[in-house]
Amino acid sequence: MSEMEKLIRQRSALKSKLTIFSNFLQNIQGKEEVSDLELIQLNDRLTRIEKLIEEFDELQNLIVSQAEDLESQFKERETFETNYFNNISIAKKFLMIKDQ
């Protein structure tokens, strides 16, 4: 396996973590009532997922430095960052509303 393939696999793992967070967030948003335990879990997951952007940025920079097709790599970054910041914002707003 080449170095680029390893980096892309690592990036896929990070994207998977974001998808898991997104799925959890969508699940609790769909409920009429959210338990205290679910709110605590959301807060903990949010704290953990907020660190993901730094890992992604570092990894994506390595991929871009070795990539031949820069356009597709820039799209990867844009897609990830859009998804990341949307989910972070939704989670923070959800917690803020439930905190009132």
- pLDDT digits 0-9 by tens, 48-58: 999 999 999 99
In a domain, 25, yes or no: no
Contact 95, 43 (CB under 8 A): yes
Q: How far apart are CA 63 and CA 72, in angstroms?
A: 11
The DSSP secondary structure of 10-59, one letter per residue, reads: HHHHHHHHHHHHHHHHHHHHT-SS--HHHHHHHHHHHHHHTTHHHHHHHH
When comparing pLDDT for 50 and 100, which is higher?
Answer: 50
**How many domains would you assign to the chain?**
1
Asked whether residue 26 is domain-assigned, the answer is: no
Q: How far apart are CA 81 and CA 25, in angstroms?
A: 17
Q: Would you say residue 40 lies in a domain?
A: yes
pLDDT higher than threshold 90 for residue 10: yes
Q: What is the pTM of this model?
A: 0.92
Token pair for residue 93? 């707003």
Residue 30 domain flag? no
* Within-domain flag for 87: yes
The string of pLDDT tens digits covering residues 62-91 is 999 999 999 999 999 999 999 999 999 999
In a domain, 82, yes or no: yes
Domain hosting 62: range is 3-19+35-99
